A and B are shown apart, each in its own frame.
Chain A
Amino acid sequence: MIEQHISLLIVAIPLVLAPVVAVLPNGKLPWLATTVIAWAVFMLAWQQLEMVSGGTSISYELGGWPPPWGIEYKIDTTNALVSLIVAGIAAITMIYASKSVTREIQESKISLFYAAFLLCFTGLLGIAQTGDIFNLFVFLEISSLSSYALISMGKKRQALTAAYQYLIMGTIGATFFLIGVGLLYAMTGTLNMADLAVRLPDLLGHGTVNTAFAFIMVGFALKLALFPLHLWLPNAYTYAPSVVTIFLAATATKVAVYVMLRVIFTIFGFSEIAATPADEIFLVLCVGGILIMSFYAIYQTDSKRLLAYSSVAQIGYMMLGVGLGSMLGLTATLVHLFNHALMKGALFMAIGAIVYQIGSSQIKDFAGLGKRMPWTFGAIIIGGLSLIGVPGTAGFVSKWYLVLAAIEAQSWLLVIVVLVGSLLAVAYVWKLVEVLYFQDGEAGTTEVKEAPLLLLIPTWALVVANVYFGINTDLTVGTAETAVKLLLGGGS
């Protein structure tokens, strides 16, 4: 029974229960409910991935209406992996939330906060699960609207402008996407992705189809904060409550990258895209993003903003693999999708733990904290090393495949860009580590103690995962390779 409806349940459980959480009394109860839901969905997502890991796919017809008339949820290895990332991060973030949310969110808004979180969760899962492009738009709006609300709940007043900025940019992005979908529908008469993939090859090169493609790409480039459309992201990550930053940084952009993959490889097919300048444009933007955004990160004075700019640079790495369009390149993209969720999750959690203790995310206030908060400090070091891509960490695995892909394509410029990007990462990671390590800060920091266990456990769970997936790549690389075979096979 569960197995049969698993693809629907993953989306339906949080969607149906979100309004229930909203009316629960404020206090611990909403947290408990959300945690149970997140873990349940995580289990289901895990099971779903196991069902499709062999390379088969699940097709679920909503309401029994066969596609292309009804909405179809079509799960293959790629989106099963993405759903697992989203659900896994949500589950771990929820443990973290019990302490962090109580401190950062007003007592009267707690149940609303968790309800909004569940809706955002639903939206992201829905985007990953659905096989219908209009349905995808609906879930996109669910996740976006709820994340505007979540960001605006940040403690500082700037959170409101950050949310507003994101609202404007996000709406433009979503509108562009909808225009693109509309144009595709006008040309093909279908909204089902698999069906689109069948019908589009005959129409490629047609002006309307090209326009649709451009609208969809620009729309989602906004959502995933591809340089130079990233302007909303640093503010949003900096001023959002810690839990929201952790969750969005680790999942929202990943889901957007997934949609890019789907649209480019499943719906349109890479060989057709390669005929347009789209892939070259991607490469140029990625190179610009990696280099310029890493430089920006170095000069930040706020730790959350530093990591936010780093995220924009990292998105460049992910899209680089898409631009290359090769087996190795896409493997790198999917592996980095997973690994980056782990490292940014760990880092934002560690920073969140410091913010929890000292109430500031300014780097200058961190002086000498390493000794007072050794476990948090250790998490930042290991997370940072993973971000740099030091061997033995998950980040290295991503870099390994990305550079191999660039070498295979004989594009030495990209090889250099990736490696220089790592060196810039050394600079901004060490900027944090150095401040935490050396002790000549003001005397005020001597009172600070190590963060509570409930913050440290999820942080270290991700830290350990960073090391584990740096040494054992069966799950990440294995799954990614299966997924890429399907993507490349289905597209052309």
Chain B
Amino acid sequence: MNMTSENLIILSIVLPVIASFLILLADKKPNLREAITLITATIIAAVTITLGSRVLAGERPELFITEVFPGISINFAIEPLGMLFALVAGTLWLVTSIYAIGYMRGHHEKNQTRFYASFALAISSALAAAYSGNMFTLFLCYEILTISTYPLVTHAGTAEARKSGRVYLGILLGTSIGLQLLAILITYAVTGTLDFRDGGILAGKMDPSYAWLLYALFVFGVGKAAVMPFHRWLPAAMVAPTPVSALLHAVAVVKAGVFTILKVTIYIFGADFITTSGANDWLVWFAALTILLASLIAMTKDNLKARLAYSTISQLSYIVLGALIATKLSIIGASMHITMHAFAKITLFFAAGAIMVAAHKKEISQMRGLGKAMPLTFTAFTIGTLSIIGLPPFGGMWSKWYLALGTVQAEEWLLLSVFMISSLLNIAYLLPISIRAFFSKPADGVEYTEIKEAPVPILIAISITSIMCIVLFFYPDPFYDLAQAAVGGR
């Protein structure tokens, strides 16, 4: 492509919005509607990869839109971290779209038009968040993302969906308006700017003894990162159709949250200011506790999606903890974990959805022996599991490796042990699912003869993501390079 990077930024934000309108217009023609989604998703994937290669080559495209307040503008500026996030969200949208077509049709969902239209809007705002050039723009996109995903969460329209929608909106809007906005305003009042700058903008401007308070406002204010006690929205959001849980509540939305925390850490505070001011002293324990508690809760959940949701909460706090430790290696690890966890967790959700469509089962206890009927699905599930645990030869190993090294670099031995214990917990709550599916007999002695694998689009999608889990072990380089560029300066 010969378009300038600035135009590509516009394209990646505007095109999904246009697609969303076209989808609404194609309401009565499902095939045309899905074609619009697929074509748009393909273009977006290509655009993101093009931008990714340019950013890797050292380009830093910027795009100014308008000035809202004195010193505060809506502008986009791609830096390595944002590119990393955009690459994950942009490419996985295509895979999820393929999956969604199989799932939504196989599951006979209603209101599919609204589903695809909202989905495109959500992706647009996630990409816009990734490319945001200052905290104001990021906050703007963050809020749009919350609101555009509301129709997806409440898709079923049942009383339960409505209740979940309230929890979802209540926590996400509540934390962002009550805490994050306050943090942003204090930052602006102190520094007079909200730009993302290497080394941060607060150092030298802010009294270090209050830095912990501001940092806490940011960390808890970014409700999408699901640090306890503001995690309840994520299990609630599982009432949504599986493609939504897979892409938005394992990748785009939650990663937008941890991404925001990383951005704040690197470009607002600056890693040095955090370590010298001790802003992270007790916050790290919130993240550490979230990692452990969420894993423990995951064990008690029999509903597969609920278990995966708590697993996500735990894994998100890996990234938050990596950011909070604020050493070079831990931030590299945290950034890479955005990618690695994304591919692994989306595989798990895809598998969960496939089981729901093909076997109509949601409870883990009913999945014994299902592996023989759905070997491909459960193989993928196993690959995802192993990558989450962090074993070679799966991508998840790398991010855990750097996160652990980060704790060593900071000489936080207790936190290192948190990562280690958590890995063991991962094994305990994820691996038995595959083992029982493959090696146990069904509980009631019935053989699953009538159950077959899920529809083909679903299988294609699962295969792509699970293969990617392995590929990322051998070729993590683009993501590693981006992560390193983010901490190493431009």
Closest chain B residue, CB of each to CB of A422: B177
Which B residues are CB-close (under 8 A) to A477? 69
Complex interface: stretch among A101-109, A143-151, A399-407: A399-407
Contacts of A415 in B (CB 8 A): 182
- Asked, given contacts A391-B139, A392-B140, A440-B157, whether A423 binds B178 with beta carbons under 8 Å apart, the answer is yes
Q: Across the interface, do B182 and A472 meet the contact criterion of CB distance under 8 Å?
A: no
| B481 interface hit (Cβ, 8 Å) | no
Find chain B residues with CB under 8 A from A397 CB. Answer: 68-69
Interface secondary structure of A, over-half rule: helix
**Among A389, A390, A404, residue most surrounded by chain B Cβ atoms (within 10 Å):** A390
Chain A nearest CB from B70 CB (Å) reads 8
A434–B162 alpha-carbon span in the complex (Å): 8
B185 CB → nearest A CB, Å: 5
- B178 contacts A420, CB within 8 Å? yes
Residue in chain B with minimal CB distance to A430? B169
Nearest Cβ on chain B to A276's Cβ, whole angstroms: 29
Chain A residue contacts of B178, Cβ below 8 A:
419-420, 422-423
Say whether A426 contacts B169, CB under 8 Å: yes
Query: How far in angstroms is the closest Cβ of chain B from A79?
Result: 25
Q: Is B418 on the interface with A (CB-CB < 8 A)?
A: no
Q: Does A388 count as interface, using CB distance less than 8 angstroms?
A: yes
Q: How far is the CA of A473 from the CA of B67 in the complex (A)?
A: 9
Q: Is A299 an interface residue (CB 8 A)?
A: no
From the candidates B143, B170, B173, B189, name the one contacting A404 in the complex (CB within 8 A).
B189
Instruction: Point out the residues of chain A lying under 8 angstroms from B169, CB to CB.
Output: 426, 430
Bound-complex Cα distance A479 to B275 (A): 44
CB 8 Å contact bits of B29-72 with A (1 = contact, 0 = none)? 00000000000000000000000000000000000001011000
Which chain B residue has the least Cβ–Cβ distance from A415?
A: B182
How many angstroms between the C-alpha atoms of A426 and B173 in the bound complex? 8
Residues of B within 8 A of A385 (CB): 147
What A residues does B74 contact at CB under 8 A? 471
Q: Are B186 and A407 in contact (CB under 8 A)?
A: yes
Check A473 against B69 for contact (C-beta < 8 Å): yes
Instruction: Tell me whether B428 is interfacial, beta carbon within 8 Å.
Output: no
Known: A392-B143, A400-B69. A407 touches B189 (CB 8 A): yes
B362 contacts the other chain (CB 8 A):
no
In the complex formed, the residue of B with least CB distance to A368 is: B157
Q: Please name all residues of chain B whose beta carbon is closer than 8 Å to the beta carbon of A407 when the two chains form the complex.
A: 185-186, 189
Q: Find A419's partner among B66, B144, B181 (CB 8 Å cutoff).
A: B181
Question: In whole angstroms, how far apart are the Cα atoms of A390 and B136 in the complex?
Answer: 12
Does residue B436 face the partner (Cβ distance < 8 Å to A)? no
Among A392, A419, A438, contact of B162 (Cβ-Cβ < 8 Å)? A438
| Complex contacts, A50 vs chain B, CB 8 Å | none
Contact across chains for B174 and A403 when beta carbons are under 8 A apart:
no
Q: Which residues of A contact B232 (CB under 8 A)?
A: none
Are A392 and B157 within 8 A (Cβ)?
A: no
Residues of A within 8 A of B189 (CB): 404, 407-408
Q: Which of B66, B157, B186 contacts A438 (CB 8 A)?
A: B157
Q: Is the CB of B177 within 8 A of A426?
A: yes
B188 within 8 A of A: yes
B178 nearest in chain A by CB position: A419
Contact with B along A364-398 (1 / 0, CB 8 A): 00000000000000000000010011111000010
Q: Which of A11-37 contact B (CB under 8 A)?
A: none
- Any chain A CB within 8 A of the CB of B197? no
**In the complex, what distance in Å separates the CA atom of A423 from the CA atom of B166?**
13
| Chain A residues numbered 460-485 whose CB sits less than 8 Å from any CB in chain B | 470-473, 477
- Min C-beta distance of A295 to chain B, whole Å: 16
Residue of A nearest to B173 (CB): A426
> Could you tell me the distance in whole angstroms from the C-beta of A428 to the nearest C-beta in chain B?
13
Closest-by-CB residue of A relative to B74 is: A471
The answer to whether B144 and A423 touch across the interface, beta carbons within 8 angstroms, is no
In the bound complex, residues from chain B placing their C-beta under 8 Å from that of A408 are: 189
With the chains together, A472 CA to B177 CA distance in Å? 21
Q: A390-B173, A415-B182, A477-B69 are in contact. List 16 more A-B contacts (CB 8 A).
A: A385-B147, A391-B139, A391-B143, A397-B69, A400-B69, A404-B185, A404-B188, A423-B173, A423-B177, A426-B177, A430-B166, A430-B169, A438-B162, A440-B157, A470-B68, A472-B66
Closest 9 interchain pairs by CB?
A391-B140, A407-B189, A422-B177, A403-B185, A419-B178, A390-B143, A426-B173, A392-B140, A423-B174
5 intermolecular pairs with C-beta atoms under 8 Å apart = A403-B181, A434-B162, A437-B151, A438-B162, A471-B66
